[in-house]
Structures are given as structure tokens and as C-alpha cells.
Amino acid sequence: MITRLKTRLLVLATVLSCTVAGVAAAADVKPRLIRFGYGLNDESVQGRAARFLAQELEKISGGKLKMKTFGSANLGSDEQMQGALAGGAQEMMVGSTAPLAGMVKEFGVFDLPFLFNSEKEADAVLDGQLGQDLLKKLEARGLIGLVYWENGFRNMTNSKRPINRAEDLQGIKLRVMQNQIALGVFNTLGANAVPMPFSELFTALETRTVDGQENPITTIQSSKFYEVQPFLTITRHVYTPWVVLASKKWWDTLSPDEQKLIRQAAAASRDFERKDSRADSAKAMTTLEQAGMKINTVSPEEVARMREKVQPVVDKYTQELGPELIKQLNDEIQKARN
């Protein structure tokens, strides 16, 4: 009797521990602590998705893969973190594609203005052949590109005047991301473009070191740019993706089971983040209006004029990035559009 009960208990205990630890128990997964850095604050879309990723990873690894998230560029700007990952000093991060173009120039395709018309087109290209090929190119630079999150369509804010026409940008010192194409585009439109890491931006706007900047609505709201920027102009001039990255040096020390769990959690975070970003964008617009920002939208005719103005920059970088790549890009967009 007693022995039977003991056996039963033993069986029960084994079943329980397997279920609790899930896949991770059987698989080759060691306890690890992963540092994950990002540039925006904890209340941003980025912050919420980082917490989601950490929770998801901990859950599916049975508590073994723990992620500590560091927002507000506490581990450094996008560029600094890219360097830390490549050198193996930090495990993971999420950041914009624009500064990545310094490592793999082809990421510059996402800095070409007025490319995508909708989030759907962006998703198709990012999750399709071109987007995935670009992620693979990162390996030679010491980075593993996992998934794309949405940063989003960018709009302009400034402290001087509403932008109705490109000419209104004359004399405006406009902070741009650290990227050659962005610099060329905004100087050609007539602004005085100033490249600067995001981590220095709020202070630069507050002290009037620069007059304006451009970012998605979600960021303008979460980073409280409305406190120092009275004018918001809806231009949707470019769509910037964020990329979730891992250090290749570190990645190569992981077991295939561990890599699989991280890829799985990253994919779940992508779906969560895109949905959250799109819902947040609509809400953020209302918040910005209530905060007293003066909001205008550039007319489709003016967008067409701006497009024409920046065409020489697009032509220049089409040559530099490779006309075949740009053709593939336009074909994939066209396919998503139809």
C-alpha cells in the first residue's frame, strides 16, 4: 500500500515538474541573464514591448532565460549599443535601422523618403525577402537581427512655425538621425539638418540648440516633445523600423534550444508591438491636440513637390545602395500594394 502510494507520488511529482518547467526542462537551456537596452522611456511603445519580450521569454523558458530591460538609453544610444553588442559587452537591444546603415549600408533603403504608403506595405517588405536578407547581412558585423518592430511613419515638430511648404523649413535647425540619407534629404528640403543621437534630443529642443525634429506621433507623445515643440506637421515622410538585435559573440555561446526560445519570444513581441503601436498612434494624436500642439497636415500636392525636390538624393543613393536592390524594393512594395 505504502509503496504504491510512494510510486504514485513519484510519478505525480515527475509529471508536475515537467509541466511547470515546460519545454525548457527537457531542452538544453541554462539559467541566463540577458541585458536588453532601448532608447525611449519605459512608458513608450518600445518600453511596453520590451517588458512583453522579457515576460514572454521568462515564461516559455520556464524561468531560466531572464531579461533585464534598460530604457531611456541607460545602456547608451542606438549607435553605442550596436557597438557594445558587436563587441560582446551587451547581449540584446532594439534600435532604429537608420544608425545601423553605418554598419550595413543597405539598411539605408528605409531612409529613402516617401517609400511606403501604409504599415501593411512596410510589414510585407520587412517580413519578406528583402527585410530578411538585410538581417542576415548583420552577421558579418557581429550582430544577429531577430525581428522588426514598428517605430513608424515620421512627422515633423518645431518651435518656429507650421510647415505648409518645403520653403517653411528654411532656417530651421532640424535634428535628424545619424544617417547620411536623412541628412541629405532634410538639407535638400531646405532645413539645416543636425545629426544627433536620440538620447540628446529632448535637452537640445528645450535649450533651443535645435528648433525641430521628426519622429512618429507615438514618440512625440511618450517623449513629451509637446512640452517644448508647439508645432506638429503631419508629413509621414518616411517609415522607420526598429530592429531587435543580439550580440553574435554572445549568441554563438547559446545552445540551439536557447536560440530557438529567443527567436520565438522575439516573434511574439513583434506581433504585440505592431498592434500596440498602431493603437497607440491614434490615442497619441488626441493627447497631442489636448496638450495644445498646433497641428497641420501637408497637402498631397505639397507632398508631391517635396518628393520631386528630394529626387536627386534618391537617385544618388539608388546608385550607392545598388539599383538592383532598389528595384527589388519597389517590386516588393508594388506587390504588397496590389
Q: Which residues bind ligand TK8 (CB under 6 A)?
A: 39-40, 78, 95-96, 151, 177, 198, 215, 219, 240
Yes or no: say if 99 and 78 are a contact pair by the CB < 8 Å rule.
Answer: yes
Q: Which is nearer to ligand TK8, 69 or 151 (CB)?
A: 151
Judged by CB, which is closer to ligand TK8: 188, or 222? 222
User: Closest separation between CB of residue 247 and ligand TK8, Å?
Assistant: 17
| Nearer Cβ to ligand TK8 (39/131) | 39
Shortest reach from residue 218's CB to ligand TK8, in Å: 9
What DSSP string runs through 215-268?
E-HHHHHHTTGGGT--EEEE----EEEEEEEEEHHHHTTS-HHHHHHHHHHHHH
Smaller CB separation from ligand TK8, 219 or 281: 219
SS3 assignment for 146-174: EEEEEEEECEEEECCCCCCCHHHHCCCEE
CB of 256 to ligand TK8, least distance (A): 31
- Nearest distance in Å: CB 219, ligand TK8: 6
* 158 close to 296: Cβ distance less than 8 angstroms: no
Of residues 73 and 314, the one with the C-beta less far from ligand TK8: 73
Using the minimum distance from each CB to ligand TK8, give the nearer residue, 39 or 108: 39
Closest approach of ligand TK8 to the CB of residue 27, in Å? 33
Distance of CA 107 to the CA centre of its chain: 12
Shortest distance (Å) from residue 60 CB to ligand TK8: 27
Nearest residue to ligand TK8 on Cβ basis: 39
Cα 190 from chain centre:
27
Buried b (16+ CB within 10 A) or exposed e, 224-241: ebbebbbbbbebbbbbbb
Please give the Cα distance from 117 to 281 (Å, whole number): 16
